[in-house]
Amino acid sequence: MSGSILSRHIYLVGFMGAGKTTVGEALARELSVTFTDLDHFLESETGLSIVQIFAELGEPVFRRMESEALLRLSQTPAQVISLGGGTFCRPEAVEALNGAGITIWLDCPFSAAMARCRRDHHPRPLAANEAQARILFEQRRQFYSQAHLRVATGDRSVPAVLHDLLDGLRWLGEPKAAP
């Protein structure tokens, strides 16, 4: 999209395995902006894997690290940022992120999300137990549903999801025409 600029960050929210990283990379490429995956950003900042952070420091410390990293990223030029599945799931996070940029919920059925988690081979401490993950999935929908836009992912192709995302963004007036 030459001749256009993104004026606000785009935050991709949604459950583990919804496709936030894959779709985020494609969207950033399409908009010619930087892409950051929050988990990868934290891993490269700390030198620890997400699994190590959970095991050695615990989930409350991980959540604090997520919030601090987001605050730093909010000061960078507008870009696409994919969040972890739990990042958006506190009332303060919904308020802060909806104020700081455009939030987009990648909505994926539970079975498809779990299938992708298994395929990924990317270890996720909170997806190890499927029954507990299903409870989290149900509890979190009330937060995800407060995002500005919702796009269905599931088994849809990346171009199909991207098409809907770009339609939704246009409806919100993004990206703007370059001056």
Residues that bind ligand S3P (CB under 6 A): 16, 20, 39, 50, 84-86, 124-126
Strand partners, 106: 151
Question: Nearest distance from residue 164's CB to ligand S3P, in Å?
Answer: 20
Question: Nearest distance from residue 163's CB to ligand S3P, in Å?
Answer: 23
Q: DSSP labels for 23-47?
A: HHHHHHHHHT--EEEHHHHHHHHHS
Strands (E), the chain: 4-5, 9-13, 35-37, 80-82, 101-107, 149-152, 176-177
Question: Nearest distance from residue 2's CB to ligand S3P, in Å?
Answer: 30
Whether the CB-CB separation of 175 and 33 falls below 8 Å is answered with: no
Question: Nearest distance from residue 102's CB to ligand S3P, in Å?
Answer: 19
Closest CA to 101 of 45, 163, 31, 50: 31
Q: Which is nearer to ligand S3P, 83 or 174 (CB)?
A: 83
Whether the CB-CB separation of 73 and 81 falls below 8 Å is answered with: yes
Q: Which is nearer to ligand S3P, 10 or 50 (CB)?
A: 50
Question: Nearest distance from residue 22's CB to ligand S3P, in Å?
Answer: 11
- DSSP annotation of 4: E
Q: Which is nearer to ligand S3P, 93 or 102 (CB)?
A: 93
Q: Which is nearer to ligand S3P, 84 or 175 (CB)?
A: 84
Q: Which is nearer to ligand S3P, 88 or 174 (CB)?
A: 88
Closest CA to 88 of 38, 161, 151, 27: 38
